[in-house]
Structure 1
Amino acid sequence: MNRRQTRELWTKPVPETKYLNAENVARYRLILRFFYENHSKLKYWLKAEEVYAGVMSWGLLDDYSLEQCQRDLEALTEWKNLTSRHDGGRATTIEEYLRKRFRYQMTPYTIEIERMLENLENIQGYGGSLEPTLLERLLDYIRRVRETPEWTEGEALQLWRDLQNSFRQLHENASDYLASLQTGRAEELMLTEQFLVFKDTLTHYLRNFVIGLQRYGGQLEAILQETGPEVWQAFLHAVVVDEARMPSLEESITNEERMDRRREEWSIFVQWFTGNGHEPSDVVFLERATKDSIAKMLKYALAIQEKYRWGISRKRELDYLGQWFLSLEDAEDAHRLGAYTFGLYRTRHFQGEGERTSDSADLSMWDEMPIIRELKSRSRIQRKAGETEAVRDRKEQQRIARQAFLAGKAFEDEILRKWVGMGEFSMSELDRLTLLERKFLLLWIGRCMASRSRKIRTPDGLEIRLLEPENGQRAKLVFEDGVLDLPDFRMFLKEVAAQ
């Protein structure tokens, strides 16, 4: 059957589903469920007497006779739920042979319908799960495809089935699980105290899946984009050849039709991880939906906690916090405590962009000059018309700011000269570092990791190349305020013409 004939079936009725809404639906469903259970036990052909005895053994029908069962079997045969054949093998007389005695078997459509109904009976909610191991498994399958030059008989088909099953399981389970978090029942639970008990577990579960998406999704996208199409074409051709070797009594299709189907399925798989020219990949949408679910969990948990704090005096907590600020002697420590306690302040008014004292993108807000805005009085007593204000002399402030900027720039240049003089170094070879050195180092590592070539150029005329450790070695960098554990990268620096 070609693709056009398959599409034409979409517009036609399905007589096999008539029994689900017929007048005697209870009798029809019990008969076909008995056939389905025997089909699962590899018993395919049944006589009317066997069907009648099996249905009556469940005790769900009253006033049901063998003649009625025979008529129901004929109706199901007419609706293409059953196929029949004459059973004359044990006839001892001509009359007995001519008497209508049939055996019945389920059709493939009805088997799938009953299988679907069996699955629907066991559904409780959306179900689903978030399994980053499926992404790791898909990455392993794709690497095997790329690294296998020739395929043995049956190997490509088995790998294709494993890949499609894992991909389908990942997509369906993730969609179902995230949908279950958006139901009314889930939202009602999030408003109760019981939600706080497993909030951390649920959030940790979602975050692990996001980490898996970021770790394996990017690798899958890179392999699919960087590998030549001839590799995937050879794999699909091996799959089609393996399928052609399998004998089938059903309606056969040509190898060209098989190849068209496999290409379409492969195109869907690739687009799911790489996207197209107009939209990002489904991995991005899935990661965004998972992050939105995490934010929703935290929002509901915070609302529950604030509800029970409402009306409670926080005088003691504020007094303790004030004493803590008072005991600090260093402004930097006060900045850290303030950031941890209050977070980002909510901006209420935007009054333009202040004058920049430096073009450096790495300059902290604490190193910038303050932006002073004069607030006009709301008093009804207006300033006299024509009154002028004196021009303020800001030369001293500018001189101090210039000296501070030049001193900071000299310190930065000293750091750069030291590392450029080394030429190359590993993270494990570095001694105790300052906060400014850490800022440069992490900035360069982040930009190199974001580059596909692991190489960048700075506006100062530095070319920086990053080499990842081969065996996953780790290093610990010691700073003024703590220790950072990271891979033992090796960094190469050299001076080139400034951009």
Structure 2
Amino acid sequence: MESNWNQAVEADSDIPQISESGSWFWRIMNKGEHVALQVSDKLLKPLTEAKYLNADNVSRYRCIMRIFFENYEKLKYWLYLEEVYEEMLKDPFWSEYKIEQCQQDLTMLTEWKNLNTIQDTRRVSSIEEFKNKKYRYQMSEYSVEIERLVIRLENLFIEGASLEPTLLERIRRNMERFPEMAGKDKNEVYTWWTDLNNDFMRLNQNYQDYIRDLNSVKAEEMMRTKEFLVFKDRLIEYLRSFIKGLQRNVGVIEECLKTQESDMREAVFDKIVEYEFLIPRMEVEVSEKMIRRKAEGRFKSIYDWFVGSEGQENEAAKLFDVTNEIIRRITRYAAQLSEKNALGANRKEEYRKVAEMFMRCENLEEAHKMSAMVFGMEKTFHIAGDQVRETDSMNRGVYEEKPIQIELKPRVRTYREKTKRSSIIESTEKKLETRRKMLEQQKEEEKKIKMLEKDGAIDFSALPILEPRIREILLKWISDAMESVDFSARTDDGRRYRLDKSNMAEKCVVHCEDGNFTMPKMRIVFQEESV
């Protein structure tokens, strides 16, 4: 990845234009520095090299590409049609595979740019053989990377991820050597820089994959099984070992990064840039500015991981918290499993112990007390009610509360409550007294409303301070009138009135004893006297 990073550098206005390679890859590797997404032709066009993974004859295409890749790993880059065909026939699955089909598959893979072709003229002995165009085939660069990715996906669950404290120790040792690198040869500096970056990328990727696995649905289901108890302790010990590595090394790395002098750091970057710039590259032009941006971006990623930026919590502290939370969850699930297993355990020994305690009782009274302590009260009742407590304190005991009496009723269908016969109570006087009070209250309200009336109308903009009851009556009159088409209605005593809305655009404030409210300016105009 280091050797061909320049194929993935983002084009810049003041940087020489390079091939359309992956500006996207550059943004990922340079994530220490925020670079806005720039849409390029490379990003928008379809990736035809990946078509063979999902085509109609995918089984044939993939086997052919795997043959090319295995030979590529053995440094055999060019293959003939006959060689590919012979490799396919070695597997009984392709016993009926024809050489014409192999030729068609190679042609299609060449069309999709998975294979590069070159006409082999070394073995030509006649014009007829030259016209037959015997080709040699080679995997394209894209196809090599695609096959590597496919192999990684096939072995994803086999390889797995891990938390390695040794990576932290190596990063700490390399970080402690940062100041002395300013005086070292550029070859040694570049080797040290490559080791530091590789260890950091492995640490970052491995911890993310491992934590993801522990938080997956499959892991959650496994933690709830009895088999999980077997290796629970090993898993917790493994996580705690990693936490200890974090505690030992992260603080040292953070201090090294914070105390670095900018001049010393720039001197190290100069040597890294000088070495990388002298690496011969084909078909690509790079500048020192590109290389420096990559080196500074990677260093910024390391700095943010261990120190943090702009007052934010660093990634190491987040990893510490996440790992502790996983340990707590594992312990909680293990405790729940242990409790579940204990419920079905054989209690024979417990019963024997209780029997021995009863045998040591000197008399029946002492045995009764022992029974109350071991088995509790017999025939207990749990009664729920809506009783009012003096306090809501949860620390107050039952015996500190005042006793209450609850009448219990039989829960049988034949039960009927006893009815008590009672005589009809004469309440005429009470009714008359209530009616008299209501009439007096009504007359008092009419008197107060009459005082608000001026020239046969009640103007809301000129009202004095109102009582709540009088305000309710006036608002009810307005509501009754608003429900009518001609905005008129009658009062309880029969007076007819209409609502004057000619000044509705204006606002007025009505003052009351319990507050003020704003309403449109209106008048209640009475049209006749009460009947």
Class of the TM-score when normalised by the shorter of the 2 chains:
0.5 to 0.7
Q: Report matched runs for 1:303-318 at 5 Å.
A: 303-310=336-343
Indicate the SS of the match to 2:56.
coil
**How far does the alpha carbon of each residue in 1:163-193 deviate from its partner, in whole angstroms, 9 at most, with x for none?**
1111111111112222222233323332233
1:118 Cα offset (Å): 1.4
Q: Report matched runs for 1:233-382 at 5 Å.
A: 233-310=266-343, 377-379=401-403
1:3 aligned residue (10, 13, 18): 10
Structure 2: which amino acid aligns with 1:101?
K
Contact 1:153 1:242 in 2 (8 A): yes
Contact 1:126 1:177 in 2 (8 A): no
1:377 Cα offset (Å): 4.2
2:184 aligned residue (143, 148, 151): 151
Larger RCO: 1 or 2 (CA < 8 Å, sep 6+): 2
Unaligned 5+ segments in structure 2 are 1-6, 12-19, 25-39, 355-390, 406-531
Q: 1:317 to 1:185 in 2, by over 3 A?
A: farther
Q: Structure 1: how far apart are the matches of 2:190 and 2:182?
A: 15
CA RMSD of aligned residues (A): 3.0
Is the counterpart of residue 81 in structure 1 residue 88 in structure 2?
no
Q: Structure 2: how far apart are the matches of 1:88 and 1:317?
A: 96
Is the counterpart of residue 56 in structure 1 residue 120 in structure 2?
no
Structure 2: which amino acid aligns with 1:274?
V
Report what 2:205 is aligned to: 172
1:90 Cα offset (Å): 1.2
Q: Structure 2: how far apart are the matches of 1:297 and 1:372?
A: 36
Report what 1:394 is aligned to: none
Q: 1:316 to 1:212 in 2, by over 3 A?
A: farther
2:73 aligned residue (30, 40, 50): 40
Q: Structure 1: how far apart are the matches of 2:289 and 2:344?
A: 73
1:252 Cα offset (Å): 2.7
1:16 Cα offset (Å): 0.7
Q: Structure 2: how far apart are the matches of 1:32 and 1:380?
A: 86
Is the counterpart of residue 100 in structure 1 residue 133 in structure 2?
yes
Contact 2:182 2:268 in 1 (8 A): no
Q: 1:379 to 1:39 in 2, by over 3 A?
A: same
Q: Structure 2: how far apart are the matches of 1:85 and 1:311?
A: 75
Q: Structure 2: how far apart are the matches of 1:172 and 1:316?
A: 57
1:194 Cα offset (Å): 2.6
**How far does the alpha carbon of each residue in 1:252-305 deviate from its partner, in whole angstroms, 9 at most, with x for none?**
311111111221121111101111124200101111111011101110111111
Contact 1:125 1:180 in 2 (8 A): no
1:68 Cα offset (Å): 2.1
**How far does the alpha carbon of each residue in 1:39-77 deviate from its partner, in whole angstroms, 9 at most, with x for none?**
011100111111111112223325432222222212111
1:245 Cα offset (Å): 1.8
**How far does the alpha carbon of each residue in 1:372-415 deviate from its partner, in whole angstroms, 9 at most, with x for none?**
99x9844569xxxxxxxxxxxxxxxxxxxxxxxxxxxxxxxxxx
Give the number of the structure whose alpha-carbon radius of gyration is greater: 2
Contact 1:126 1:180 in 2 (8 A): no
Structure 2: which amino acid aligns with 1:143?
E
Identity, in percent, stands at 37
Contact 2:186 2:272 in 1 (8 A): no
1:67 aligned residue (100, 103, 118): 100
Q: 1:126 to 1:291 in 2, by over 3 A?
A: farther
Q: Report matched runs for 1:458-497 at 5 Å.
A: none
Total equivalences in the alignment: 335
Unaligned 5+ segments in structure 1 are 319-348, 352-370, 382-499
**How far does the alpha carbon of each residue in 1:318-375 deviate from its partner, in whole angstroms, 9 at most, with x for none?**
9xxxxxxxxxxxxxxxxxxxxxxxxxxxxxx998xxxxxxxxxxxxxxxxxxx999x9
Structure 2: which amino acid aligns with 1:191?
R
Contact 1:126 1:179 in 2 (8 A): no
1:216 Cα offset (Å): 0.5
1:196 Cα offset (Å): 2.1
Q: Structure 2: how far apart are the matches of 1:3 and 1:55?
A: 41
Structure 1: which amino acid aligns with 2:146?
I
| Worse-matched range after superposition: 123-132 or 162-171 | 123-132
| Worse-matched range after superposition: 308-317 or 263-272 | 308-317
Q: Structure 1: how far apart are the matches of 2:352 and 2:59?
A: 70
Report what 2:414 is aligned to: none
Indicate the SS of the match to 2:295.
helix
**How far does the alpha carbon of each residue in 1:443-465 deviate from its partner, in whole angstroms, 9 at most, with x for none?**
xxxxxxxxxxxxxxxxxxxxxxx
Structure 2: which amino acid aligns with 1:24?
N
Q: 1:380 to 1:19 in 2, by over 3 A?
A: same
Contact 2:120 2:136 in 1 (8 A): yes
1:131 aligned residue (164, 171, 188): 164
Report what 1:231 is aligned to: 264
Report what 2:474 is aligned to: none
Q: Structure 2: how far apart are the matches of 1:60 and 1:124?
A: 26
Q: 1:377 to 1:17 in 2, by over 3 A?
A: same
| Worse-matched range after superposition: 78-87 or 58-67 | 58-67
Q: Structure 2: how far apart are the matches of 1:214 and 1:281?
A: 14
Q: Report matched runs for 1:177-216 at 5 Å.
A: 177-216=210-249
Report what 2:408 is aligned to: none
